[in-house]
Chain A
Amino acid sequence: MANEAAIINVVARTSLWLQPHRIVLILIALGLVLSAAFFMRWDWLPQYYEMGLIGIWRSLWILAVTCVLGFLLAVPLGLAQAAGPFWFAAPAKVFCTVIRGTPLLIQLWLLYYGLGSLFPQYPWIRESWMWPYLRQAWPYGVLALTLSFAGYEGEVMRGAFAGVPKGQLEAARAFGMSRWKAFRRIWLPQAIYRALPTLTGETVLQLKSTPLVATISVIDIFAVSSKVRQDTYLTYEPLLLLALIYMTITGILVFALGRIEARIPNKIG
């Protein structure tokens, strides 16, 4: 019985969503997609298929690494601003302001072209173990994207840390928890719950920033599409496919993060 009720519910919701004008719109969209598939040139796809997959993988990898590292960096940044003494709070605030006040493209170029052109002056850097990495482009891309994510998310974490009610922390201390344990068990989890809704948005924004690494010659999916454009002299096909790929990734990200968010208790305070 419960099953039937659920099915009826789903059918009712679907019929509510699938109004006549929507069916027409969906048909028009399908027609556009089909005409694009038939009348545009897609014969280059098999040749660049593998390269594209590697590009997508690289974009996703950069996204994951920079988000995780950036978030780890954002926690101390937020904490320093919310509760730190002046000499911690001020540098953290300056860092967040600078990162949020300048374009990511300039930060990326400053690190790659600017710092990258200063390093070879010093023989000890060229002889160190870091040199093989410093000569490649991706460490600069990862560093710039990590710092950017940390800057934006640090500001969010500041608000989240400040928003946790004082009474909770006092209660934890009254239970005899050490400061570290109170932070680990009470303060940090509640701050993360508060920051989660914005985290989805920030992750999508970060995904939309990843194509910038193509300008410093990291071969991500955007660079692959640029290469296709340059090899085949096609303008629209690679770009349209690229837009579709990014939309798909965004959709999956929003869905997955939404599921995680729904699992977390939303009664706060």
Chain B
Amino acid sequence: MASAPCPTCSIFPRHVCRRRSRRRLASTSGATLIDALLSASAAGITELLSPYPPGWGGALLVGLLHSIEIALGATCLGLLIGTGGAYGKLYGGPVVRDLLAVYTTIVRAVPELVLILLLYYAGTDLINQALTAMGYQRVDVSGLAAGIAVLGFVQGAYSTEVIRGAILAIPQGQIEAARAYGMSPGLMLRRITLPSMLPFAIPGLANLWLIATKDTALLAVVGFYELALATRQAAGVTKAYFTFFFAAGVLYLLLSLFSNLIIGRVETWSRRGMPSLKEAR
């Protein structure tokens, strides 16, 4: 469980929130304010952002690392849920299909921020209740695991739709041929369905990966230490709000651009042997 929310902004946990200090900053008279800002700018932006202790660059980089870890974990979990969900939606019984429809509809209709709060509290609560019921001690669920589970659950709903569409786009003859050769469903999944749906799924999944990297920022609200929260803390301590949020924006942007580069490579790789997009048109 996160600690009690801050009384001023009522959103962030108390130890995280810097809003009170900003209020004070805004209400003091101009002269002291300018002094405060000047001292911050005199310290020098390079010094503030340097990776070694007086600077906060190291903290930001650790935060970025945590963000990437969560995004990777959440995407992998989302892919697992999505593959299972897509199979359930396409080949499952009527009850499974309806339940999956409810899952994807609800997750896609409720803001991620609300889902994260709800799943975070409900998840940790359920685990602890189950543990106490079985006679174990209560545990503190690690932020990383909770973050991955929550974001993965959200990603799963979106991946379900992407993968379902991609499986439907596979030429039917390929699946029939696989059946005709007597492949078991597991073998067919591994050898035929997954590889041949990949070119159709990659654009959508790439989009989901980009969304996942950006959604990690929302975990700052439940107090998990990642790039957005690291930035907030650094900015709150040094009062150099603009510098730090700008730096965080640049880091996120670099991550997105780098991802785009990799995605482009993966896309050409997954489409090898197929007519190129231009010819297909």
Contact = CB atoms under 8 A, between A and B. Distances in A.
Which of B22, B98, B217 gathers the greatest number of chain A CB atoms within 10 Å? B217
Given A21-B95, A25-B98, A135-B26, A106 B231 contact: yes
Task: Name the prevailing secondary structure of the A interface residues.
Answer: helix
Given A117-B37, A118-B242, A239-B118, A209 B111 contact: yes
A110 B114 contact: no
Contacts of A97: 253, 257
A178 interface: no
Report the interface size class on chain A.
Answer: 35 or more
Nearest to A229: B5
Contacts of A222: 111, 113-114
A246 B208 CA distance: 22
Contacts of B221: 215
A90 to B, nearest CB: 16
A200 to B, nearest CB: 12
B177 interface: no
B281 to A, nearest CB: 12
A114 B109 contact: no
Interface in A157-197: none
A19 to B, nearest CB: 7
A110 B216 CA distance: 17
Contacts of A204: 108-109
A87 to B, nearest CB: 22
A214 B11 contact: yes
A102 B253 contact: yes
A246 B252 contact: no
Contact of B252 (A106, A114, A236): A106
Contact of A103 (B26, B214, B232, B257): B214
A230 B5 contact: yes
A101 B249 CA distance: 9
A103 B245 contact: no
A118 B110 CA distance: 35
A7 interface: no
B130 interface: no
A121 B26 CA distance: 11
Interface string A245-262: 011001100000000000
Contact of B228 (A105, A117, A118): A105
Contacts of B99: 25
Contacts of A243: 106, 110, 114-115, 118
24 contacts: A21-B95, A25-B99, A101-B252, A102-B253, A102-B256, A103-B214, A105-B217, A106-B217, A106-B248, A109-B228, A109-B231, A109-B241, A110-B242, A110-B245, A113-B245, A114-B245, A121-B34, A123-B30, A211-B111, A223-B10, A239-B114, A243-B106, A243-B114, A246-B110
